[in-house]
Structure formats: structure tokens, C-alpha cells
Amino acid sequence: MIRIVKMTFDPERVNEFLANFEEVKNKIREFEGVQHLELLNDKNKPNIYFTYSIWRDEACLEKYRNSDLFKSIWKVTKPMFIEKTDAWSVDSLVKLP
């Protein structure tokens, strides 16, 4: 299962977010069920970021979303937003080689 989350940050807090993401990315990657995690940046709006993650299944994602790890990351990250986040859970229809 693929999870995409769009985050719009206060431009003055982007560096703070990036520093925090650098600190926590490996903890997220090591969480049970995470198969892939990357951070993407909008080409035209430098304060918009996306996380693109692949999960073994929806149960693993829900376990993460209810974990102390997620709650601690969210507590730090949420005040940096200037817009509500958007999130999508999607399935890939075409597998790349």
C-alpha cells in the first residue's frame, strides 16, 4: 500500500522541518511494515513537501499512526504547517521493473 502525504510549511520553518526529518527518517524506515520512505519537494513551491511511503499493508500503517513514534514526530511537525495536510492511501496499478 502506498501512502502520500502533502505538507505545506511556513516558509520560515522549512529548515527546521528538514532537520527534524533527517533525525527521524531512519526510525520511520525501521518501523514494522515500512518498505520504502522518501521525501519529495514541489518544484514550484519550495515550502510544499510530500512523503511517499510504501507499507506492507494497511494494518502496519495504522499501527504506525497510533504509535508513540508517530505521535512524537507529529507533535513537533504539526505546528510548522500553514495549511491542513492532505493524505492519500493508494494502490499501484502498474508495477515498474
* Segment 35-78, tens digit of pLDDT: 999 999 999 999 999 999 999 999 999 999 999 999 999 999 99
Question: b vs e for 27-48, b when ≥16 Cβ sit within 10 Å of the residue's Cβ?
Answer: ebeebebbeebeeeeeeeeebb
For the chain, list the domains and their CATH numbers: 2-90 (3.30.70.100)
- Which strands sit side by side in the sheet containing 86-90, from one edge to the other? 34-41, 48-55, 2-8, 86-90
- State pTM to two decimals: 0.92
Share of the chain above pLDDT 90, in %: 93
pLDDT-derived band at 18 (thresholds 50, 70, 90) equals: very high
Angle at 54 between CA 42 and CA 35, to 5 degrees: 125
